[in-house]
Amino acid sequence: MPFFNVREAGGMADPLHDEAATVAALAQVGAAAGPYLGSLADRPVHDPAAAGKLAGLTGPLPEDGEGTAEAVRRLLDIGTATATASSGPRFFHFVTGGATPAALAADWAASLLDQNSFARVSSPFAHETETVALDWLRDLFGLPAGWGGALVAGATFANFTSLGCATQWWGERQGADTVRDGLSGLPRMPVLSGGYVHASARKALQMLGHGRAAVEVFSRDDVGRVDLDALEARLAGLAGAPAVIIANAGEVNAGDFDPVDALAGLAERYGAWLHVDGAFGLFAALSPRSAPLVRGIDRAHSIAADGHKWLNVPYESGFALIREPARLGTAFGMPGAAYLPGPQDPGGGYGLYGPESSRRARSLPIWATLAAYGRQGYRAMVERHLDLAQHLAARVDEAPELERLAEVPLCIVCFRVSAPGVPEEELDRWNRAVGEALITDGRVFCGTTVYGGRVALRPAIVNWRTTETDIDLFVDVVRELAARTRPQLP
């Protein structure tokens, strides 16, 4: 019996088994793709004039639906007008990648095939694709064979997955089974990091029951650079009790790095677990120019990174890489349901090696983009972004009213608008005004941060579409808006 909004008589309907209607709806999306993608290079990142269209989404839940074609038409009409063009070349806020052609097409294919990547038993195809995708990622970043991992929704979940394994390891070191018994009765797990630690690592610790205050920060300045001596003194003070170190490979304000190699040395000397948050910074490994920034990652126990940032695959895509992959099944298996395989069973799979159980085949866009462009394609993209970041830094340096606040080791340029005689609080206010004006203006997109106590802009360049013209436009728009919002001196 058909059940998709068939009105009894005469109403519009989507008869079941009318595949032509499905294919027609997919064709609607395909037809919208060309104009939308074609507009990305020039459209405003954010079009305030289109915001009124969002009202078209609201209304009561329909009793009788309007049918596939009309629903999809309306959604595309509103979406292509109001979407943030963050997959375009001029979105420099957060750290936001776009989608390569192969990744975008493969992401559509993931919906078409609608696999449950829970386990081999639910989809041998998705399982095999994930195994290959993870191994290609491992290889891309120069990690030795034997490492394994899991694809997750983003780096927050990659931090969660990694620190979940670390928690299981930490319990084991003191004869406890945290997977079975939780944390009760145990001391707090010591987690040591520098000031670059990302909010999502704290969130992961909060979700794992350690509490976000579990992180002990050892920082030697107001920017957050790690204080290795103080961190080592704390490790020594633990007198052999196991601890977790978080190294930050790519910090979000200026793209700076903790000295991973030195932290790996400390982890080895004191028997600690080393976790590296390399959400975007892990991609430094792809170019000989930036690879020294991640020297030592192969000595880590776990690494978290994002696919939806510098790999340029669509949301949601992150991955955790683990030196001893068997820990994933130990930490995230769910034995005891008779109808499900266990992590060690031949029918088992990635739903038992990470936090999610039923999951979409997010391996497909990763596999496709790596198959399409290869190691050299990604190296070339990263190097182009390194060049663009240096170009932006040079443009900032030559503009009298722009002041660069940090070195540019990777893909982020941290700077502010500034002028002689303007007091610091007034500079902060001015920079916030420029940040707000940028977002309202919409031609380019960038947010503010506070770096070393000063309000600053921090554009991040990780989108494959971005060109030097986009960077030049960004600088021109910032200078124009800085002039417009410039404080009047008494």
Ligand X SMILES: *Cc1c(COP(=O)(O)O)cnc(C)c1O
Rank residues 200 and 330 by Cβ distance to ligand X and give the closer one.
Answer: 200
Rank residues 254 and 482 by Cβ distance to ligand X and give the closer one.
Answer: 254
Question: Nearest distance from residue 133's CB to ligand X, in Å?
Answer: 17
Which residue number places its CB atom closest to ligand X?
154
Residue-level length of the chain: 490
Question: Nearest distance from residue 114's CB to ligand X, in Å?
Answer: 23
Rank residues 200 and 302 by Cβ distance to ligand X and give the closer one.
Answer: 200
The CA distance from 342 to 470, in Å, is 50
Rank residues 381 and 481 by Cβ distance to ligand X and give the closer one.
Answer: 381
What angle in degrees, to the nearest 10, is found between the helix axes of 468-485 and 363-398? 50
Task: Let me know: does 272 contact 173? Beta carbons within 8 Å.
Answer: no
Q: Which of 192, 190, 181, 252 lies closest to 223, judged by CA? A: 252
SS3 445: strand
Question: Nearest distance from residue 145's CB to ligand X, in Å?
Answer: 26
SS3 216: strand
Helices and strands in the chain, H and E counts: 13, 11
Rank residues 72 and 282 by Cβ distance to ligand X and give the closer one.
Answer: 282
Backbone angles phi, psi at 449, to 5 degrees: -140, 180
The CA distance from 424 to 44, in Å, is 32
Question: Nearest distance from residue 316's CB to ligand X, in Å?
Answer: 8
SS3 191: strand
Question: Nearest distance from residue 94's CB to ligand X, in Å?
Answer: 7
Task: Let me know: does 153 contact 323? Beta carbons within 8 Å.
Answer: no
User: Contact positions toward ligand X, by CB under 6 A?
Assistant: 95, 154-156, 198, 200, 250, 252, 277, 279-280, 306, 318
Q: From edge to edge, which strands make up the β-sheet containing 454-457?
A: 402-404, 415-417, 454-457, 448-451
Rank residues 96 and 167 by Cβ distance to ligand X and give the closer one.
Answer: 96
Please give the full DSSP string across 217-246, using - where no structure is assigned.
E-BSSTT--B-HHHHHHHHHHTTT---EEE
Question: Nearest distance from residue 12's CB to ligand X, in Å?
Answer: 41
Question: Nearest distance from residue 210's CB to ligand X, in Å?
Answer: 17
**Which residue's entry shows tokens 């001596």?**
229
Rank residues 218 and 270 by Cβ distance to ligand X and give the closer one.
Answer: 218
